[in-house]
Amino acid sequence: MSILPNGEGIEVFDIKSNNDGDIVNFIVTHELISKIKNPVCLDIGADQGIWGLCIKHQNPDAHILFFEPNPYSYIKLQNTLMGMNNMNVFNIAISDKPGKLNLTFEGGNSNSRGNDGHIVECDIIDNFIKNYHHIDIVKIDTEGHDLKVLRGLLQFVKNARIGAIVTEFSTYWYGNTIEECVNNTYPVLLEYVRLYKYCYALSRRGDLYLVGPINQDNIITFICEHYERHLQTDLYFCNTELTTIHKYTYEPNKYYA
């Protein structure tokens, strides 16, 4: 992985990114798995696979499962991973139940919030990881389907089979009113902040930093603030305190995502 000049971001395996969320995810991911031998990782909503490729760059012995339902991104991903060991890619969406999912394709990206007639297969994660005793880290970036993926992972987390999770969070995906958004998100997020020792949120404005911990005492305030101010963030659930990225204590109205 190389740092590009003039603030242009990073490059890994000939794929470039200047997305601030990507950059922090790489740093945090490295901290979480750098001392793990032969880590097993899931990239759910892989797109071109840059997150998983960053792991492979950091740890060549990593075993990574990529899930990408967009057929165009899937083909690019297959070509990128050609010849690499311990890299499996599946042209399928992960959800909380098997069946069909309507995706909207936006260039190389896709999301589950539209209705343009693209129907793809979806399945539960159980059918892909039942032979793995432990998953070291899961990345979820499914543009609006993230909470359903979290619901599908919940039993594995309760059984201590997933070490850490990073997932995107935007309240506008989950309701047209603040009450609807809280009802749709609070039960799932509450389970996760109870099950993991730490939950951090990524700030995406100005200097890159994390805020936290997010916990059962402030999670409703956190959700409401994101809805009212139209904020988007990445959430990190883990059992070890993150030290590489600067952190601020979460306080309402002082967090800018």
Give the pair of three-digit tokens for residue 136. 């070291």
With contact defined as beta carbons under 8 Å apart, do 31 and 10 qualify?
no
242 closest CA partner among 203, 207, 197: 197
With contact defined as beta carbons under 8 Å apart, do 244 and 172 qualify?
no
Q: Where are the domains of the chain?
A: 2-249
- The pLDDT of residue 72 is 86
Q: How many CB atoms lie within 10 A of CB 176?
A: 8
CATH fold of 2-249, please? Rossmann fold (3.40.50)
With contact defined as beta carbons under 8 Å apart, do 147 and 184 qualify?
yes
139 closest CA partner among 80, 230, 213, 53: 53
pLDDT in tens, the chain (257 residues): 454 445 555 565 555 665 556 677 777 888 888 889 899 999 999 988 888 888 888 888 999 999 999 888 899 889 888 888 999 999 999 999 999 988 776 654 555 544 556 888 999 999 999 889 999 999 999 888 899 999 999 999 999 999 999 999 988 889 899 999 999 999 999 999 999 999 999 876 656 788 989 999 999 999 999 999 888 889 999 999 998 888 889 988 776 66
Bridge partners, 211 (sequence order): 201, 248
147 closest CA partner among 49, 44, 222: 44
With contact defined as beta carbons under 8 Å apart, do 55 and 64 qualify?
yes
Distance of CA 89 to the CA centre of its chain: 17
Q: What DSSP state is assigned to residue 45?
A: S
Q: What DSSP state is assigned to residue 83?
A: T
Bridge partners, 99 (sequence order): 122
Return all residues near 176 (Cβ < 8 A) that are at least 6 apart. Answer: none
Q: How many CB atoms lie within 10 A of CB 10?
A: 18
